Amino acid sequence: MIRLNVNGKPRDIDVAKDTPLLWTLRDVLNMTGTKFGCGQGLCGACTVQIDGQATRSCITPVSAAVGKKIATIEAIGRTPAGRRIEAAWLALDVPQCGYCQSGQIMSATALLATKPNPSDSDIDDAMAGNICRCGTYPRIRAGIKKAASATTTADVSEPSNRTEA
């Protein structure tokens, strides 16, 4: 039996120590917000946070997360940075198809938690491993900047009138 701390709750699971954290979250804990993309840690769709660091769960064995705090997209909105990112994403209509967005949000939230006012270079570095096949990178950057400049969720939640992709 392995004990994990997922979104602030202890979870006892019966999996092999080398099982990827992604499959433990999705198949054992039924938390399907974290997505499978490439399976090699290259696309970022599977990004979660472990002790506040954006981490690719598809290549992280569950044993590496024991004794650490795992945060998933299901709970990121409970954090101040997560609330601001989610509000900015909605206000700017950041997602197109949305498949990559849980990973994008997890990386963006980890960035804002450590660098509340990131530069363009900071954003580029933090988001470099997250691929968006729809190409919404300008909206992702704008969302991060909007969330960074906000002091509350109310500061970013004005509705958007965007209709183009």
Q: If DSSP states are collapsed to H, E and C, what string results for 73-126? A: CCCHHHCHHHHHHHHHHHHCCCCCCCCCHHHHHHHHHHHHHHCCCCCHHHHHHH
Q: Global pTM?
A: 0.91
pLDDT of residue 165: 41
State how far the alpha carbon of 110 is from the alpha carbons of 15, 17, 98, 157, 163, in Å: 27, 26, 19, 20, 29
State how far the alpha carbon of 20 is from the alpha carbons of 59, 110, 131, in Å: 6, 21, 20
Q: What is the DSSP letter of 64?
A: G
The first and second tokens of residue 4, run together, are 């994990």
Instruction: List the chain residues with pLDDT less than 70.
Output: 152-154, 156-165
pLDDT of residue 164: 43
Pairing of strands 47-50, 69-71: antiparallel
Output phi, psi for 27, to 5 deg. -90, -30
CATH of the domain spanning 77-155: 1.10.150.120
Neighbouring residues of 48: CB distance < 8 A, sequence distance ≥ 6? 21, 25, 34, 54, 55, 57, 70, 71, 72, 73, 106
3-state class of 165 per DSSP? Answer: coil
What are the domain boundaries of the chain?
2-71, 77-155
CATH topology of domain 2-71: Ubiquitin-like (UB roll) (3.10.20)
pLDDT of residue 152: 66
